[in-house]
């Protein structure tokens, strides 16, 4: 069982905490993590693109000239795809790109992502992440103090609007509650900053 230092919001060490081997110590499965990332990105797509086919554009009801004898290529409609104002070939239509991944694969992907971050030493545990007011500077100072000045994902145990609103103006920083975590955001972040009570909840959920 590996352990990591527990820091306060000023970056000072206040203790250590053990990480569960069943969550943070498995061999990361790249295939299932890739599957979850593809699923997440596909589910973000709106699928509202649309264009008109030759049967949907206006006009084109009359044959433009007779079939034979003009010396020109035969045409049946002025709304065929090769004409100006013609329809689109294989026009995109609204559709859903969503696909689901079964529960066991999702759990394995999450554990793999946690383990990958632990092995890369990209997990930072904070004793308590709390603010009395909405203050972006305090979150920025915390990130600098703990050595996370690039992309970071701050994981909270419960909804804390002061922390969420303070962090949302910082480029590259996202916040999430334990029940909102996804593989894409975890892998996309350079550092995973987890509140100590959120770590306890993660171990309860994924144990």
Q: How far, in Å, CA of 154 to CA of 91, rounded?
A: 42
Q: What pLDDT shows up at residue 206?
A: 87
Q: What pLDDT shows up at residue 148?
A: 87
All structural domains of the chain, each given as residue ranges with its CATH number in brackets, are: 3-45+100-206 (3.40.1370.10), 46-96 (no CATH)
Residues 153, 156, 162, 164: is their CA dihedral positive or negative?
Answer: positive
35: tokens are 């599957």
State how far the alpha carbon of 82 is from the alpha carbons of 3, 76, 79, 89, in Å: 67, 12, 8, 9
Which of these, 27, 16, 113, lies nearest to 2 by C-alpha position?
A: 16
CB half-sphere exposure, 20, CA atoms < 13 A: 14
Q: What pLDDT shows up at residue 171?
A: 92
166: tokens are 């303070």
Q: What is the mean pLDDT for each group of 10 consecutive residues in the chain (207 residues)?
A: 86 89 92 96 95 93 94 95 95 94 94 94 92 92 89 92 92 93 94 93 89
Q: What is the DSSP string of 52-99?
A: --TTTSS---S-SS-SSSSSSPP-S-TTSTTSTTPPPTT---------
């Amino acid at each position: 069982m590996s352990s990591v230092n527990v820091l306060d919001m000023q970056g000072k060490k206040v203790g250590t905490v053990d990480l569960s081997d069943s969550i943070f110590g498995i061999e990361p499965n790249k295939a299932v993590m890739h599957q979850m990332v593809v699923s997440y990105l596909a589910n973000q797509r709106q699928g509202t693109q649309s264009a008109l086919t030759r049967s949907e554009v206006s006009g084109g009801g009359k044959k433009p000239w007779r079939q034979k004898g003009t010396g020109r290529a035969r045409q049946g409609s002025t709304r065929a795809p090769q004409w100006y104002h013609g329809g689109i070939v294989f026009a995109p239509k609204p559709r859903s790109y969503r696909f689901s991944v079964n529960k066991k694969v999702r759990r394995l992907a999450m554990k793999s992502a946690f383990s990958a971050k632990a092995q890369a030493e990209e997990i930072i545990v904070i004793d308590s992440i709390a603010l009395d007011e909405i203050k972006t500077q305090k979150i920025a100072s915390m990130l600098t103090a703990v050595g996370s000045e690039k992309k970071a994902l701050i994981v909270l145990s419960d909804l804390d609007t002061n922390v969420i609103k303070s962090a949302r103006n910082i480029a590259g920083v996202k916040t999430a509650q334990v029940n909102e975590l996804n593989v894409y955001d975890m892998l996309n972040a350079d550092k995973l900053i987890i509140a100590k009570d959120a770590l306890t909840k993660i171990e309860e959920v994924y144990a």
